[in-house]
Structure 1
Amino acid sequence: MSPERVSVFLARRSYRRRRLADAARLLPLAGGVLFCVPLLWKGAEGGARTVGTMIYVFGLWVVLVAISGLVSRYLRGEEEDRAGDKGAGGGME
């Protein structure tokens, strides 16, 4: 007889949580790289235009704050779900 087959794949819920945690870890690095992009821009006089650069920097800042808020909300929601599952057992494990 063959041994019992165990699924190689993770549950969908834990897989998504791990990918969100990876995104949360990668977000500061991606933000740092994106904040350096204006250094590559060249204007007519050889430098970047100040107004365009400031709009880019503050727009990027708002987008990064929104993304980090969404990621943290989903991660926190799943932690609360897991805490509720543990509390529902009544400690009779």
Structure 2
Amino acid sequence: MSERPKHLFLERQSYRRRRLIDLIRMCPVIGAILWAVPLLWRTDGAEQISTSDAVVYVFLVWLGLVLMSAFLARALRDGGDADGDGS
């Protein structure tokens, strides 16, 4: 009487492509969280972080996001080419 649930099989390439797209969608969230980190830094006392250090941090995060986006876009494009070959 009880039927076994059908298992959904996803091809490895399709599964990896979907996870890569999920990671690309998370990039703005990751960037927003990383850009908010300087708001948690101390602004008074002996262990104060200078404004110039905060600006350098923000631009390094920006550069990291650009590089990560370029890498992920290339990986997504290369993965799409493999699907077109029938491999």
How far apart in 2 are the matches of 1:9 and 1:40?
45
Contact persistence 1:41–1:48 (CA under 8 A): yes
What per-residue deviation string (whole Å, max 9, x for no partner) do you get for residues 38-93 of structure 1? 11111335x742121011111111111111111100111122223344xxxxxxxx
Count of equivalent residues: 80
1:63 counterpart = 2:64:
yes
Amino acid at match of 1:44: D
Amino acid at match of 2:26: L
Partner of 1:3: none
Q: Over aligned residue pairs, what C-alpha RMSD do you find?
A: 2.2
- Percent of aligned pairs with the same residue? 39
For residue 36 of structure 1, give the secondary structure of its aligned residue in structure 2: helix
When normalised by structure 1's length, the TM-score is: 0.72
Contact persistence 1:39–1:48 (CA under 8 A): no
Of the two structures, which has the highest relative contact order with CA contacts closer than 8 Å and spacing of 6 or more?
Answer: 2
Partner of 2:81: 80
Over 4 Å off, 4+ runs: none
